[in-house]
Protein backbone atom coordinates (compact mmCIF):
# COMPACT_ATOMS: atom_id res chain seq x y z
CA UNK A 1 0.00 0.00 0.00
CA UNK A 2 2.80 2.42 0.87
CA UNK A 3 4.62 1.61 -2.40
CA UNK A 4 1.44 2.42 -4.33
CA UNK A 5 1.21 5.78 -2.60
CA UNK A 6 4.82 6.58 -3.46
CA UNK A 7 4.25 5.61 -7.11
CA UNK A 8 1.15 7.80 -7.24
CA UNK A 9 3.02 10.73 -5.73
CA UNK A 10 5.91 10.26 -8.15
CA UNK A 11 3.54 10.16 -11.15
CA UNK A 12 1.80 13.33 -10.01
CA UNK A 13 5.15 15.06 -9.47
CA UNK A 14 6.39 14.13 -12.95
CA UNK A 15 3.12 15.31 -14.48
CA UNK A 16 3.33 18.63 -12.64
CA UNK A 17 6.95 19.14 -13.76
CA UNK A 18 6.07 18.42 -17.40
CA UNK A 19 3.03 20.72 -17.29
CA UNK A 20 5.05 23.54 -15.70
CA UNK A 21 7.81 23.11 -18.29
CA UNK A 22 5.37 23.23 -21.23
CA UNK A 23 3.57 26.27 -19.80
CA UNK A 24 6.89 28.03 -19.10
CA UNK A 25 8.11 27.33 -22.65
CA UNK A 26 4.96 28.80 -24.17
CA UNK A 27 5.09 31.84 -21.92
CA UNK A 28 8.79 32.53 -22.60
CA UNK A 29 8.22 32.06 -26.34
CA UNK A 30 5.34 34.51 -26.25
CA UNK A 31 7.40 37.08 -24.35
CA UNK A 32 10.51 36.85 -26.54
CA UNK A 33 8.86 36.00 -29.87
CA UNK A 34 7.25 39.45 -30.17
CA UNK A 35 10.60 41.14 -29.51
CA UNK A 36 12.29 38.95 -32.13
CA UNK A 37 9.58 39.78 -34.66
CA UNK A 38 10.11 43.49 -33.97
CA UNK A 39 13.87 43.09 -34.40
CA UNK A 40 13.38 41.23 -37.69
CA UNK A 41 10.94 43.91 -38.88
CA UNK A 42 13.42 46.64 -37.96
CA UNK A 43 16.24 44.84 -39.81
CA UNK A 44 13.96 44.35 -42.81
CA UNK A 45 13.09 48.03 -42.86
CA UNK A 46 16.75 49.04 -42.70
CA UNK A 47 17.67 46.51 -45.41
CA UNK A 48 14.88 47.82 -47.65
CA UNK A 49 16.11 51.38 -47.23
CA UNK A 50 19.71 50.40 -47.93
CA UNK A 51 18.71 48.43 -51.04
CA UNK A 52 16.59 51.31 -52.35
CA UNK A 53 19.50 53.69 -51.74
CA UNK A 54 21.90 51.40 -53.63
CA UNK A 55 19.54 51.13 -56.60
CA UNK A 56 19.12 54.90 -56.63
CA UNK A 57 22.89 55.38 -56.59
CA UNK A 58 23.36 52.91 -59.47
CA UNK A 59 20.67 54.49 -61.63
CA UNK A 60 21.97 57.98 -60.90
CA UNK A 61 25.62 57.15 -61.61
CA UNK A 62 24.90 55.26 -64.83
CA UNK A 63 22.20 57.55 -66.25
CA UNK A 64 24.69 59.51 -68.38
CA UNK A 65 27.15 56.68 -69.01
CA UNK A 66 24.58 54.76 -71.06
CA UNK A 67 24.44 57.57 -73.60
CA UNK A 68 28.22 57.97 -74.01
CA UNK A 69 28.91 55.17 -76.55
CA UNK A 70 25.78 56.10 -78.54
CA UNK A 71 26.98 59.69 -78.72
CA UNK A 72 30.50 58.68 -79.80
CA UNK A 73 29.09 56.31 -82.44
CA UNK A 74 27.79 59.40 -84.30
CA UNK A 75 31.22 61.11 -84.48
CA UNK A 76 32.43 61.29 -88.11
CA UNK A 77 36.11 61.02 -87.12
CA UNK A 78 35.54 57.61 -85.55
CA UNK A 79 33.47 56.45 -88.53
CA UNK A 80 36.25 57.54 -90.88
CA UNK A 81 38.80 55.51 -88.89
CA UNK A 82 36.57 52.42 -89.12
CA UNK A 83 35.86 52.96 -92.85
CA UNK A 84 38.02 55.60 -94.53
CA UNK A 85 36.23 57.55 -97.29
CA UNK A 86 38.68 56.38 -99.93
CA UNK A 87 38.82 52.79 -98.73
CA UNK A 88 41.87 50.95 -97.46
CA UNK A 89 43.54 51.45 -94.08
CA UNK A 90 43.11 54.78 -92.25
CA UNK A 91 46.19 57.04 -92.36
CA UNK A 92 48.28 57.12 -89.15
CA UNK A 93 47.55 60.78 -88.48
CA UNK A 94 43.80 60.01 -88.55
CA UNK A 95 44.28 57.16 -86.08
CA UNK A 96 46.38 59.44 -83.87
CA UNK A 97 43.61 62.05 -83.92
CA UNK A 98 41.05 59.39 -83.01
CA UNK A 99 43.21 58.16 -80.11
CA UNK A 100 43.57 61.65 -78.70
CA UNK A 101 39.89 62.32 -79.22
CA UNK A 102 39.01 59.19 -77.24
CA UNK A 103 41.48 60.19 -74.52
CA UNK A 104 39.77 63.57 -74.22
CA UNK A 105 36.34 61.92 -74.21
CA UNK A 106 37.48 59.62 -71.41
CA UNK A 107 38.41 62.58 -69.21
CA UNK A 108 35.36 64.62 -70.18
CA UNK A 109 32.81 61.88 -69.48
CA UNK A 110 34.62 60.54 -66.40
CA UNK A 111 35.00 56.92 -67.58
CA UNK A 112 38.04 54.63 -67.38
CA UNK A 113 38.37 53.43 -70.97
CA UNK A 114 36.97 54.15 -74.45
CA UNK A 115 37.76 51.77 -77.33
CA UNK A 116 36.93 51.72 -81.03
CA UNK A 117 36.57 48.19 -82.45
CA UNK A 118 36.27 47.41 -86.16
CA UNK A 119 33.83 44.91 -87.69
CA UNK A 120 36.39 42.09 -87.31
CA UNK A 121 36.74 42.61 -83.56
CA UNK A 122 40.13 44.37 -83.77
CA UNK A 123 40.80 47.42 -81.59
CA UNK A 124 41.75 50.26 -83.95
CA UNK A 125 41.73 53.22 -81.52
CA UNK A 126 41.72 53.55 -77.74
CA UNK A 127 41.85 56.19 -75.03
CA UNK A 128 44.74 54.27 -73.44
CA UNK A 129 46.75 53.98 -76.66
CA UNK A 130 49.92 54.92 -74.77
CA UNK A 131 49.66 51.98 -72.36
CA UNK A 132 52.13 49.16 -72.60
CA UNK A 133 51.16 46.84 -74.12
CA UNK A 134 48.85 48.97 -76.25
CA UNK A 135 45.34 47.58 -76.82
CA UNK A 136 45.45 48.76 -80.46
CA UNK A 137 45.69 45.80 -82.78
CA UNK A 138 44.39 43.29 -80.23
CA UNK A 139 41.47 41.06 -81.18
CA UNK A 140 38.53 41.02 -78.80
CA UNK A 141 36.07 39.38 -81.18
CA UNK A 142 35.37 36.55 -78.73
CA UNK A 143 34.47 38.87 -75.87
CA UNK A 144 30.69 38.94 -75.20
CA UNK A 145 30.60 42.70 -74.81
CA UNK A 146 31.96 42.99 -78.38
CA UNK A 147 30.10 40.02 -79.89
CA UNK A 148 26.67 41.40 -79.01
CA UNK A 149 27.45 44.81 -80.50
CA UNK A 150 28.88 43.26 -83.68
CA UNK A 151 25.54 41.50 -84.09
CA UNK A 152 23.76 44.86 -83.92
CA UNK A 153 22.76 44.79 -80.24
CA UNK A 154 23.73 46.79 -77.20
CA UNK A 155 25.72 45.46 -74.25
CA UNK A 156 25.50 46.82 -70.73
CA UNK A 157 26.82 44.57 -68.01
CA UNK A 158 29.80 43.51 -65.92
CA UNK A 159 32.86 41.80 -67.40
CA UNK A 160 36.43 41.14 -66.30
CA UNK A 161 37.73 42.55 -69.61
CA UNK A 162 40.94 41.73 -71.44
CA UNK A 163 43.06 43.91 -69.14
CA UNK A 164 44.56 41.97 -66.24
CA UNK A 165 42.61 42.42 -63.01
CA UNK A 166 40.65 45.37 -64.36
CA UNK A 167 36.96 44.38 -64.05
CA UNK A 168 34.25 46.91 -64.66
CA UNK A 169 30.93 47.72 -66.30
CA UNK A 170 31.07 47.70 -70.10
CA UNK A 171 28.76 49.65 -72.41
CA UNK A 172 28.95 48.76 -76.12
CA UNK A 173 26.94 49.99 -79.14
CA UNK A 174 27.34 49.24 -82.86
CA UNK A 175 28.57 51.93 -85.27
CA UNK A 176 26.73 52.27 -88.59
CA UNK A 177 27.57 54.12 -91.77
CA UNK A 178 25.01 54.33 -94.54
CA UNK A 179 23.07 51.47 -92.95
CA UNK A 180 26.08 49.10 -92.73
CA UNK A 181 27.62 48.01 -89.41
CA UNK A 182 31.28 49.05 -89.46
CA UNK A 183 32.39 48.61 -85.85
CA UNK A 184 31.73 49.06 -82.16
CA UNK A 185 32.24 51.89 -79.63
CA UNK A 186 32.81 50.58 -76.15
CA UNK A 187 33.23 52.36 -72.79
CA UNK A 188 34.16 50.96 -69.43
CA UNK A 189 33.83 52.14 -65.83
CA UNK A 190 36.12 50.36 -63.39
CA UNK A 191 34.66 48.99 -60.18
CA UNK A 192 37.02 51.09 -58.10
CA UNK A 193 35.02 54.17 -59.08
CA UNK A 194 31.83 52.51 -57.88
CA UNK A 195 32.87 51.18 -54.45
CA UNK A 196 30.49 53.63 -52.76
CA UNK A 197 27.61 51.48 -53.98
CA UNK A 198 28.42 48.87 -51.32
CA UNK A 199 29.52 51.09 -48.46
CA UNK A 200 26.91 49.80 -45.99
CA UNK A 201 26.93 46.71 -43.77
CA UNK A 202 27.40 43.40 -45.60
CA UNK A 203 25.83 44.64 -48.85
CA UNK A 204 26.94 43.29 -52.23
CA UNK A 205 26.03 43.43 -55.93
CA UNK A 206 25.65 40.51 -58.36
CA UNK A 207 25.57 40.63 -62.15
CA UNK A 208 22.99 39.03 -64.41
CA UNK A 209 24.57 35.58 -64.01
CA UNK A 210 24.51 35.73 -60.21
CA UNK A 211 28.25 36.40 -59.79
CA UNK A 212 29.10 38.80 -56.97
CA UNK A 213 31.08 41.57 -58.65
CA UNK A 214 31.30 43.98 -55.72
CA UNK A 215 30.91 43.55 -51.96
CA UNK A 216 31.57 45.64 -48.91
CA UNK A 217 33.55 42.65 -47.65
CA UNK A 218 35.99 41.74 -50.48
CA UNK A 219 36.02 38.09 -49.34
CA UNK A 220 32.63 37.58 -50.98
CA UNK A 221 33.58 38.92 -54.42
CA UNK A 222 33.72 36.48 -57.38
CA UNK A 223 31.34 34.09 -55.64
CA UNK A 224 28.08 32.99 -57.21
CA UNK A 225 24.49 32.95 -56.01
CA UNK A 226 22.76 29.59 -56.14
CA UNK A 227 19.78 31.03 -58.01
CA UNK A 228 21.98 32.67 -60.67
CA UNK A 229 22.55 31.68 -64.31
CA UNK A 230 26.25 30.95 -63.98
CA UNK A 231 25.67 27.18 -64.21
CA UNK A 232 24.13 27.60 -67.67
CA UNK A 233 27.38 29.09 -69.08
CA UNK A 234 30.08 26.91 -70.55
CA UNK A 235 33.65 27.03 -69.26
CA UNK A 236 34.68 28.99 -72.37
CA UNK A 237 31.90 31.53 -71.82
CA UNK A 238 32.91 31.94 -68.19
CA UNK A 239 36.53 32.42 -69.17
CA UNK A 240 35.62 35.02 -71.82
CA UNK A 241 33.37 36.97 -69.48
CA UNK A 242 35.19 36.65 -66.15
CA UNK A 243 38.75 35.51 -67.07
CA UNK A 244 38.13 32.48 -64.82
CA UNK A 245 35.86 29.44 -64.78
CA UNK A 246 35.86 28.36 -61.12
CA UNK A 247 33.67 30.16 -58.58
CA UNK A 248 32.95 29.52 -54.94
CA UNK A 249 29.38 29.53 -53.68
CA UNK A 250 28.03 32.57 -51.84
CA UNK A 251 27.68 31.50 -48.17
CA UNK A 252 23.97 32.27 -47.88
CA UNK A 253 21.43 29.71 -46.76
CA UNK A 254 18.17 29.45 -44.89
CA UNK A 255 18.68 30.02 -41.19
CA UNK A 256 17.91 26.81 -39.32
CA UNK A 257 17.29 25.82 -35.76
CA UNK A 258 20.44 24.83 -33.96
CA UNK A 259 20.72 21.37 -32.36
CA UNK A 260 19.28 21.22 -28.88
CA UNK A 261 16.98 23.90 -27.43
CA UNK A 262 19.07 27.02 -27.95
CA UNK A 263 16.64 28.39 -30.54
CA UNK A 264 14.00 25.69 -30.91
CA UNK A 265 11.47 28.25 -29.70
CA UNK A 266 11.71 30.43 -32.81
CA UNK A 267 8.44 30.37 -34.83
CA UNK A 268 8.72 28.89 -38.30
CA UNK A 269 7.41 32.05 -39.97
CA UNK A 270 10.30 34.03 -38.46
CA UNK A 271 12.85 31.39 -39.46
CA UNK A 272 11.61 31.65 -43.04
CA UNK A 273 12.44 35.37 -43.04
CA UNK A 274 16.00 34.96 -41.73
CA UNK A 275 19.13 33.76 -43.51
CA UNK A 276 22.50 32.42 -42.44
CA UNK A 277 25.34 34.49 -43.90
CA UNK A 278 29.04 33.65 -43.93
CA UNK A 279 30.57 32.53 -40.66
CA UNK A 280 28.33 34.73 -38.55
CA UNK A 281 26.35 32.95 -35.86
CA UNK A 282 23.48 35.40 -35.82
CA UNK A 283 20.76 35.43 -38.50
CA UNK A 284 20.42 38.11 -41.16
CA UNK A 285 17.65 39.74 -43.15
CA UNK A 286 18.49 40.03 -46.85
CA UNK A 287 16.71 42.31 -49.32
CA UNK A 288 17.39 42.25 -53.06
CA UNK A 289 16.52 44.82 -55.70
CA UNK A 290 17.06 44.37 -59.47
CA UNK A 291 18.50 47.24 -61.47
CA UNK A 292 16.41 48.64 -64.30
CA UNK A 293 18.54 47.86 -67.36
CA UNK A 294 22.02 46.44 -66.71
CA UNK A 295 21.20 43.08 -65.12
CA UNK A 296 22.69 44.03 -61.77
CA UNK A 297 20.99 42.97 -58.54
CA UNK A 298 21.79 44.65 -55.23
CA UNK A 299 21.61 42.78 -51.95
CA UNK A 300 21.32 44.61 -48.62
CA UNK A 301 22.23 42.41 -45.65
CA UNK A 302 21.25 43.49 -42.14
CA UNK A 303 21.90 41.42 -39.05
CA UNK A 304 19.24 40.64 -36.46
CA UNK A 305 21.33 42.28 -33.75
CA UNK A 306 19.06 41.27 -30.90
CA UNK A 307 19.35 37.54 -31.72
CA UNK A 308 21.92 36.51 -29.15
CA UNK A 309 20.41 38.68 -26.43
CA UNK A 310 16.92 37.30 -27.11
CA UNK A 311 18.22 33.73 -27.14
CA UNK A 312 19.73 34.28 -23.71
CA UNK A 313 16.59 36.07 -22.57
CA UNK A 314 14.41 33.16 -23.67
CA UNK A 315 16.54 30.71 -21.73
CA UNK A 316 16.37 32.97 -18.67
CA UNK A 317 12.62 33.53 -19.04
CA UNK A 318 12.08 29.80 -19.51
CA UNK A 319 13.89 29.03 -16.28
CA UNK A 320 12.17 31.85 -14.41
CA UNK A 321 8.71 30.94 -15.70
CA UNK A 322 9.29 27.29 -14.92
CA UNK A 323 10.33 28.16 -11.39
CA UNK A 324 7.40 30.57 -11.17
CA UNK A 325 4.83 28.00 -12.28
CA UNK A 326 6.40 25.30 -10.23
CA UNK A 327 6.50 27.62 -7.26
CA UNK A 328 2.86 28.48 -7.88
CA UNK A 329 1.93 24.82 -7.85
CA UNK A 330 3.86 24.30 -4.67
CA UNK A 331 2.27 27.36 -3.09
CA UNK A 332 -1.19 26.15 -4.05
CA UNK A 333 -0.45 22.72 -2.64
CA UNK A 334 0.89 24.20 0.57
CA UNK A 335 -2.08 26.56 0.79
CA UNK A 336 -4.49 23.66 0.47
CA UNK A 337 -2.56 21.60 2.95
CA UNK A 338 -2.28 24.45 5.45
CA UNK A 339 -5.98 25.26 4.95
CA UNK A 340 -6.78 21.68 5.86
CA UNK A 341 -4.52 22.10 8.88
CA UNK A 342 -6.37 25.27 9.95
CA UNK A 343 -3.44 27.60 9.20
CA UNK A 344 -4.16 28.43 5.56
CA UNK A 345 -6.04 31.61 6.49
CA UNK A 346 -3.03 33.19 8.14
CA UNK A 347 -0.61 32.13 5.39
CA UNK A 348 -2.88 33.35 2.60
CA UNK A 349 -3.39 36.67 4.37
CA UNK A 350 0.34 37.10 4.87
CA UNK A 351 1.09 36.24 1.24
CA UNK A 352 -1.61 38.65 0.10
CA UNK A 353 -0.16 41.43 2.25
CA UNK A 354 3.31 40.77 0.88
CA UNK A 355 2.04 40.79 -2.69
CA UNK A 356 0.11 44.01 -2.02
CA UNK A 357 3.15 45.64 -0.45
CA UNK A 358 5.30 44.64 -3.41
CA UNK A 359 2.66 45.94 -5.80
CA UNK A 360 2.51 49.24 -3.91
CA UNK A 361 6.28 49.54 -4.08
CA UNK A 362 6.16 48.78 -7.77
CA UNK A 363 3.39 51.29 -8.38
CA UNK A 364 5.26 53.93 -6.39
CA UNK A 365 8.39 53.27 -8.42
CA UNK A 366 6.51 53.43 -11.74
CA UNK A 367 4.83 56.66 -10.65
CA UNK A 368 8.19 58.22 -9.76
CA UNK A 369 10.44 57.16 -12.66
CA UNK A 370 9.96 57.27 -16.39
CA UNK A 371 9.80 53.73 -17.74
CA UNK A 372 11.81 54.46 -20.89
CA UNK A 373 14.60 56.78 -19.75
CA UNK A 374 14.80 56.17 -16.01
CA UNK A 375 14.44 59.90 -15.28
CA UNK A 376 11.84 61.29 -12.88
CA UNK A 377 8.27 61.51 -14.08
CA UNK A 378 6.75 64.95 -14.49
CA UNK A 379 4.54 64.60 -11.42
CA UNK A 380 7.28 63.32 -9.14
CA UNK A 381 9.78 65.87 -10.48
CA UNK A 382 7.51 68.80 -9.56
CA UNK A 383 6.81 67.20 -6.18
CA UNK A 384 10.54 67.16 -5.46
CA UNK A 385 10.89 70.62 -7.01
CA UNK A 386 8.42 72.16 -4.54
CA UNK A 387 10.18 70.62 -1.57
CA UNK A 388 13.61 71.78 -2.73
CA UNK A 389 12.24 75.25 -3.48
CA UNK A 390 10.92 75.55 0.08
CA UNK A 391 14.32 74.54 1.44
CA UNK A 392 16.06 77.05 -0.86
CA UNK A 393 13.78 79.85 0.30
CA UNK A 394 14.45 79.05 3.95
CA UNK A 395 18.21 78.89 3.49
CA UNK A 396 18.31 81.74 0.95
CA UNK A 397 20.58 79.72 -1.31
CA UNK A 398 20.74 79.87 -5.11
CA UNK A 399 19.00 77.33 -7.29
CA UNK A 400 18.78 77.11 -11.06
CA UNK A 401 16.56 75.31 -13.54
CA UNK A 402 17.48 74.03 -16.99
CA UNK A 403 14.82 73.03 -19.54
CA UNK A 404 16.27 70.99 -22.42
CA UNK A 405 14.67 69.91 -25.67
CA UNK A 406 16.15 67.55 -28.27
CA UNK A 407 16.55 69.28 -31.63
CA UNK A 408 14.57 67.97 -34.62
CA UNK A 409 13.40 64.94 -32.65
CA UNK A 410 10.36 64.38 -34.86
CA UNK A 411 12.67 64.19 -37.87
CA UNK A 412 14.74 61.54 -36.08
CA UNK A 413 11.61 59.46 -35.45
CA UNK A 414 10.41 59.89 -39.04
CA UNK A 415 13.81 59.04 -40.54
CA UNK A 416 15.17 56.31 -38.26
CA UNK A 417 12.03 55.03 -36.53
CA UNK A 418 10.71 55.32 -32.98
CA UNK A 419 13.04 52.60 -31.71
CA UNK A 420 16.05 54.77 -32.58
CA UNK A 421 14.23 57.82 -31.21
CA UNK A 422 13.79 56.01 -27.88
CA UNK A 423 17.51 55.22 -27.87
CA UNK A 424 18.26 58.93 -28.39
CA UNK A 425 16.11 59.84 -25.37
CA UNK A 426 17.84 57.22 -23.22
CA UNK A 427 21.28 58.33 -24.41
CA UNK A 428 20.47 61.96 -23.59
CA UNK A 429 19.41 61.06 -20.03
CA UNK A 430 22.55 58.96 -19.67
CA UNK A 431 24.71 61.94 -20.73
CA UNK A 432 22.91 64.21 -18.28
CA UNK A 433 23.17 61.72 -15.40
CA UNK A 434 26.90 61.29 -15.92
CA UNK A 435 27.35 65.09 -15.87
CA UNK A 436 25.11 66.06 -12.95
CA UNK A 437 25.83 65.91 -9.23
CA UNK A 438 24.18 63.49 -6.86
CA UNK A 439 21.72 66.10 -5.51
CA UNK A 440 20.65 67.34 -8.95
CA UNK A 441 17.33 66.21 -10.42
CA UNK A 442 16.39 65.37 -14.00
CA UNK A 443 12.82 64.72 -15.05
CA UNK A 444 10.99 64.10 -18.28
CA UNK A 445 8.30 66.77 -18.48
CA UNK A 446 7.31 66.23 -22.12
CA UNK A 447 7.89 63.91 -25.06
CA UNK A 448 11.47 65.04 -25.74
CA UNK A 449 11.60 67.84 -23.17
CA UNK A 450 13.50 67.42 -19.90
CA UNK A 451 13.94 69.61 -16.83
CA UNK A 452 17.13 69.67 -14.75
CA UNK A 453 17.08 71.18 -11.26
CA UNK A 454 20.40 72.29 -9.76
CA UNK A 455 20.12 73.09 -6.01
CA UNK A 456 22.83 75.47 -4.80
CA UNK A 457 23.82 76.42 -8.37
CA UNK A 458 23.83 79.95 -9.69
CA UNK A 459 22.82 80.98 -13.17
CA UNK A 460 26.44 80.92 -14.29
CA UNK A 461 26.96 77.43 -12.83
CA UNK A 462 23.86 76.18 -14.62
CA UNK A 463 25.11 77.64 -17.91
CA UNK A 464 28.38 75.72 -17.56
CA UNK A 465 26.51 72.49 -16.78
CA UNK A 466 24.15 72.94 -19.73
CA UNK A 467 27.03 73.70 -22.07
CA UNK A 468 28.89 70.57 -20.96
CA UNK A 469 25.81 68.46 -21.60
CA UNK A 470 25.30 70.11 -24.99
CA UNK A 471 28.89 69.44 -26.08
CA UNK A 472 28.75 65.83 -24.92
CA UNK A 473 25.49 65.27 -26.83
CA UNK A 474 27.16 66.39 -30.06
CA UNK A 475 29.89 63.80 -29.56
CA UNK A 476 27.49 60.96 -28.94
CA UNK A 477 26.45 58.65 -31.76
CA UNK A 478 24.13 55.66 -32.06
CA UNK A 479 25.79 52.76 -33.83
CA UNK A 480 22.51 50.97 -34.49
CA UNK A 481 21.59 53.36 -37.31
CA UNK A 482 23.15 53.71 -40.72
CA UNK A 483 24.96 56.05 -40.85
CA UNK A 484 25.61 56.44 -37.06
CA UNK A 485 23.09 59.00 -35.76
CA UNK A 486 24.23 62.15 -34.00
CA UNK A 487 21.90 64.48 -32.15
CA UNK A 488 21.89 67.83 -30.39
CA UNK A 489 19.78 69.66 -27.83
CA UNK A 490 18.83 73.22 -26.92
CA UNK A 491 18.73 74.54 -23.34
CA UNK A 492 16.85 77.30 -21.51
CA UNK A 493 18.26 78.42 -18.15
CA UNK A 494 16.88 80.48 -15.31
CA UNK A 495 17.77 81.11 -11.64
CA UNK A 496 15.45 81.20 -8.63
CA UNK A 497 14.19 84.62 -7.65
CA UNK A 498 12.16 85.80 -4.68
CA UNK A 499 8.51 84.69 -4.64
CA UNK A 500 9.20 82.23 -7.47
CA UNK A 501 7.08 79.10 -7.87
CA UNK A 502 8.08 75.96 -9.80
CA UNK A 503 5.76 76.86 -12.67
CA UNK A 504 7.04 80.43 -12.94
CA UNK A 505 10.62 79.15 -13.16
CA UNK A 506 9.59 76.61 -15.79
CA UNK A 507 7.83 79.32 -17.78
CA UNK A 508 10.98 81.50 -17.80
CA UNK A 509 13.17 78.55 -18.72
CA UNK A 510 10.73 77.66 -21.51
CA UNK A 511 10.97 81.22 -22.85
CA UNK A 512 14.77 80.94 -22.84
CA UNK A 513 14.51 77.55 -24.59
CA UNK A 514 12.24 79.09 -27.21
CA UNK A 515 14.80 81.81 -27.88
CA UNK A 516 17.56 79.19 -28.16
CA UNK A 517 15.47 77.36 -30.74
CA UNK A 518 14.78 80.55 -32.63
CA UNK A 519 18.49 81.42 -32.59
CA UNK A 520 19.36 78.24 -34.48
CA UNK A 521 19.17 75.33 -31.95
CA UNK A 522 22.09 73.51 -30.36
CA UNK A 523 22.77 76.33 -27.92
CA UNK A 524 22.09 77.54 -24.39
CA UNK A 525 20.05 80.64 -23.51
CA UNK A 526 19.74 82.34 -20.14
CA UNK A 527 16.60 84.22 -19.13
Sheet holding 524-526, edge to edge: 441-444, 449-455, 399-406, 489-495, 524-526
pLDDT at 114: 93
| Domain assignment present for 371 | no
> Quick one: 419 and 338 in the same domain?
no
- Residues of the chain scoring pLDDT < 50: none
Q: What is the domain-level CATH number for residue 425? A: 3.30.70.270
- Give the separation between CA 52 and CA 34, rounded to whole angstroms: 27
CA-wise closest residue to 512 among 428, 410, 386, 402: 402
For residue 335, the model assigns a pLDDT of 80
**What does pTM read for this prediction?**
0.54
CA angle 101, 173, 123 (to 5 degrees): 55
The residue range of the domain holding 463 is 378-526
450 lies in the same domain as 500: yes
Residue 370 maps to a domain: no
Tell me what the pLDDT averaged over the chain comes to. 85
Q: Tell me, yes or no, whether 235 lies in a domain.
A: no
pLDDT at 246: 83
Same domain, 206 and 300: yes
Measuring CA to CA, how many Å separate 522 from each of 86, 329, 507, 510, 514?
74, 57, 20, 15, 12
Q: What CA–CA distance (Å, rounded) separates 383 from 329?
A: 43
How big is the CA angle at 296 (ends 291 and 301), to the nearest 5 degrees? 90
Determine the pLDDT at residue 364: 67
184 Cα distance to chain centroid = 43
Reported as a single tens digit per residue, the pLDDT across 405-420 is: 999 999 988 888 888 8
pLDDT for 477-500, tens place per residue? Answer: 887 666 778 899 999 999 999 888
pLDDT for residue 467: 94
Note the pLDDT of residue 336.
Answer: 86
User: What was the pLDDT predicted at 245?
Assistant: 80
Looking at the structure, do residues 165 and 308 belong to the same domain, yes or no? no
pLDDT at 344: 62
How many domains does the chain divide into? 3
Task: Output the pLDDT for position 353.
Answer: 72
Q: Which of 84, 88, 112 is nearest to 98 (CA)?
A: 84
- 185 closest CA partner among 81, 60, 294: 81
Tell which of 299, 328, 358 closes a domain: 358
Same-domain status, 168 and 112:
yes
Same domain, 215 and 85: no
Give the domain CATH number at 122: 3.30.450.20
Contact 451, 403 (CB under 8 A): yes
Same domain membership, residue 205 and residue 88: no
Amino acid sequence: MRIRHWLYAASVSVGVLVACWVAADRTATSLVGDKLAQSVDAGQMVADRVADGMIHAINTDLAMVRAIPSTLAEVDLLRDVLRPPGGGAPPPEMVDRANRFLLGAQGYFGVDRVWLIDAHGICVAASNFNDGPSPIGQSVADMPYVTNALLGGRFESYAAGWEHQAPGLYFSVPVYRQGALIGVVMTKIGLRRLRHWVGSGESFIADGNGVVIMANDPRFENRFMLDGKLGALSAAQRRALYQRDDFARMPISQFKRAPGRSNAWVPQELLARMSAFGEFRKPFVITSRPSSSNGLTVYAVEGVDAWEALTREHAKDLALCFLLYLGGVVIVALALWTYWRERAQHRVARQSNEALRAANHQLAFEASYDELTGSLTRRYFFHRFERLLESTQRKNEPMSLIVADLDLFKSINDTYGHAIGDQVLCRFVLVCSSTLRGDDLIGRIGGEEFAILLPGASERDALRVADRIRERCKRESLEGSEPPLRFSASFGITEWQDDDSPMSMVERADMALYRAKRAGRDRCWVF
